[in-house]
Structure 1
């Protein structure tokens, strides 16, 4: 895993709203392991919701959560309203993990959460802009980014599972 400079500002210190209103309260995840994923309902990678939900079910009792962050910046693949997104995720994939409001992950309107995440490089050395839907960031119990995974990396890929288990054991 490649690291980058640590600004000392945890992504969990950022304010963001929940998908269906009110604060998502990221501070509630302090001391937990969090996999932050920018998600979309109409993407070729959308079936990754199934693997994300299986990770949630497998590790939730050990202090882990997936955090879905809807984004419509990649070919308009998340056009729905909050209600439509919630219904799709629940009905199609049985999603139980928390979801935030729809945000921008790149450009001038980039949400502060992604300002803090995108400086971290993945194993291939990519840092900066999010490349596509379903890019994944693993945040350790101490609130720092510890891993970044490309959009095409399946949620249950060995490198993701190993990283999650390593953080849960630590």
Structure 2
């Protein structure tokens, strides 16, 4: 799977993000979930062209808990699953749960196929438009402070030591 225990996922921007309801959102954010934890970007306002420039890096643990490693052959796909959600927030600066715009299901291996390069992942087509996320993924040996991280975008890791 991974030689190192961390994965650096840069959320560069979102394009053609729809306004989810009759209310205008204060901003949009991305939640990345794995069996190891959940990470999120800051809430950012959309531009006139319905794009959102996040330019944030999320550093995530790539391996499951060490004491559960013997369970990996039993549940291999579950440990590798990655879910990305794009959500609209109606309160500026608050994450809450917001309104879900779209979900992308992938795996660590699929993300690592693009290691070091920018790549785009499309969401399901909404009203003849195809919203997408522009991402970049890298392997990391140890967590480092990303170059483009807001103070409220720290990871929430479910590790038990």
TM-score, normalised to structure 2's length?
Answer: 0.27
Instruction: Identify, as 1 or 2, the structure richer in helix.
Output: 1
TM-score, normalised to structure 1's length?
Answer: 0.26
Which of 1 and 2 has greater Rg? 2
